[in-house]
Amino acid sequence: MKQYDAIIIGFGKAGKTLAAELSNRGWQVAVVERSDMMYGGSCPNIACIPTKTLIHEAEISSLLYYEDFPKQANMYKQAISRKNSLISFLRRNNYERLSKRPNVTVYTGTASFISANT
């Protein structure tokens, strides 16, 4: 079994930042994230960035097509597609930036500690 200096559960902002810093110090680090759809954490995947992207798109839609619901609905479909493309790009970028570090191994799956040292 491979040995690590640190095992980080969760690939969010704190997890990826800590893993990068420990890697810079020469530590062997494992990062465990339960879903490949959450690399990078909540902000780029389901919270801040997707929400702000859709709010921005809605504002543009209401300005361009104030009383034209069918055009707004079409623009909404396009907005969802653009949002999905953006978060896919960010997720891939987060994964690649961390997994390419020589001292970091990323695992997709669940993890838990069974004792203070295990």
Domain boundaries, the chain: 6-108
What is the number of other CB atoms lying within 10 angstroms of the CB of residue 104?
A: 22
Across the chain, mean pLDDT equals 94
Predicted confidence (pLDDT) at residue 112 exceeds the cutoff of 90: no
CATH number of 6-108: 3.50.50.60
| H or E stretch at 6 | strand 6-9
What pairs with residue 6 in β-bridges? 29
The average pLDDT across 36-48 equals 95
Q: Which amino acid is at 3?
A: Q
What pairs with residue 89 in β-bridges? none
The average pLDDT across 11-34 equals 97
pLDDT value at position 74? 93
Give ∠ CA 8-12-16 in degrees, rounded to 5: 60
Pinpoint the alpha helices (H) of the chain.
13-24, 42-45, 48-64, 69-99
pLDDT value at position 89? 97
Task: Give the list of residues 6+ apart from residue 87 with CB closer than 8 angstroms, or none.
Answer: 44, 45, 49, 50
For the stretch 24-35, pLDDT in tens is: 999 999 999 999
The average pLDDT across 92-112 equals 96
The average pLDDT across 70-84 equals 93
Rg (CA), the chain: 19
Taking the C-alpha atoms of residue 44 and residue 86, their distance in angstroms, rounded to an integer, is 9
Q: Is 32 helix (H, G, I), strand (E, B) or coil?
A: strand
